Amino acid sequence: MSLPARVGADRGVAGCRVSIAGIEARTDRFAPCRARIPLVALVAAALLVGCGDTRPAREPEGSVAFRTGSGAQSDNQTFTIPGPLFRHPGMLSPAHEQAWQSTWVDTDQEHPLLRGATAGMTTGVGFLMIAPMAVTFWPAAVGIMVGSTAMGLLGVTQADSTDVRMSPADRTVIAEATTRLQPDRLFRASMGEALRTRAGGALPVVMWHQAWNVETGTDPLDQARGRGLDGVLDFAVDAIGLAAGEERDTFGIFLQARVRALDTLDGRLRYERVLAYGPGRAVEGLPRAEFHTLEFLAADRGRVFRQVASDAISRVARAMAEDPQLPLAYTPAERK
């Protein structure tokens, strides 16, 4: 009597097995689709990441971007020779101001499209390295490389059109503003003003001709001795320009100034100091250099640049005028 029940049970089990087998068979038909999902995801991810930041790498703080001047770059240094202090000093001034030659330093010489393609290919290779399963399926690998390279090209074209780091117009304005600034003359005026208290008044000016000759009477030291001066001071700006700031696409004024002191009796160089100040160049007693975008510095036809540069020159002049090693005696104001 129990046999039909068992037979029914067996038939039910068999039916279940058949049903499960059918479900498994129907499910297996979607296996190729499931296998393609990770590959599609990889390709999509490569396309997105390939369009990453293709802008030039941020330059280290202090890297020179714009420079004008004839002096070679130098570190801060001081040279002195013992001797009596100058009690009747004068200040040398050239008869003709030097012509300033401006130079923009382009650190990234690679073509933008080549840079974008390289960035895209690098991204694709990185994806293949972290997902080696894509290598076994060569269409996915090819898709990743082609997609990342194409999006890298697209990314750099978009970046170049919307993110202009240094526009040609701003460069021209900064170069013209530097010429109008006349850094050498401004530095001499700032040094003369900063030394008024120490020298007891304004320093007598001795004109200096570059092609001087003792026989023609154009020797500045001979002129200084004839005026009763025991020493002359020479103030010059070796270089001035812009250097990379602390943040991306910001710049600050960098300045390299030089002060020399010569003995009029024998022409010896008694003192020389070179001071470099700006981004990445800390000077004791001076605040950190200010950082601005190039667009801001070029505003109002470069007036902002000239103001910021003038402030930097004045700060450097005050610091160099207070140097105790400068062989200049403190003279009462009544002398002048």
pLDDT digits (tens, 9 = 90+) for 26-39: 445 544 444 444 54
Residue 126: pLDDT band by 50, 70, 90 thresholds? low
pLDDT at 219: 83
Task: Give the dihedral of Cα atoms 214, 217, 220, 221; nearest 10 deg.
Answer: 60
Give φ, ψ of 65 to 5 degrees.
-110, -30
* 298-315 pLDDT tens trace: 999 999 999 999 999 999
CA distance 304 to 252: 12
Q: Which two tokens stand for residue 146?
A: 């082609």
**Closest C-alpha among 170, 208, 200, 173 to residue 91:** 208
Higher pLDDT, 171 or 119: 171
d(CA 154, CA 158): 6
Lowest mean pLDDT of 111-125, 156-170, 276-290, 294-308, name the range: 111-125
Q: Is 265 helix (H, G, I), strand (E, B) or coil?
A: coil
Closest CA to 251 of 325, 310, 305: 305
DSSP code, position 240: E
| Average pLDDT of span 191-204 | 92
The fraction of the chain above a pLDDT of 90, given in percent, is: 42
Average the pLDDT over 168-195 and give the result: 93
Residue 63 neighbours by CB distance under 10 Å = 17
pLDDT of residue 72: 73
- 197 band by pLDDT with thresholds 50, 70 and 90: confident
Instruction: Extract the tokens encoding 93.
Output: 């001034």
- Is 0.85 surpassed by the pTM of this model? no
Assign 148 a pLDDT band (cuts: 50, 70, 90).
Answer: low
Residue 123 has a pLDDT of 53
Q: Is the pLDDT of residue 178 over 80?
A: yes
- H helix runs in 82-137, sequence order: 112-130
Q: What is the mean pLDDT of residues 53-81?
A: 79
DSSP H or E segment with residue 201 = none
Distance CA 216, CA 188 (A): 26
Query: Is pLDDT larger for residue 183 or for residue 131?
Result: 183
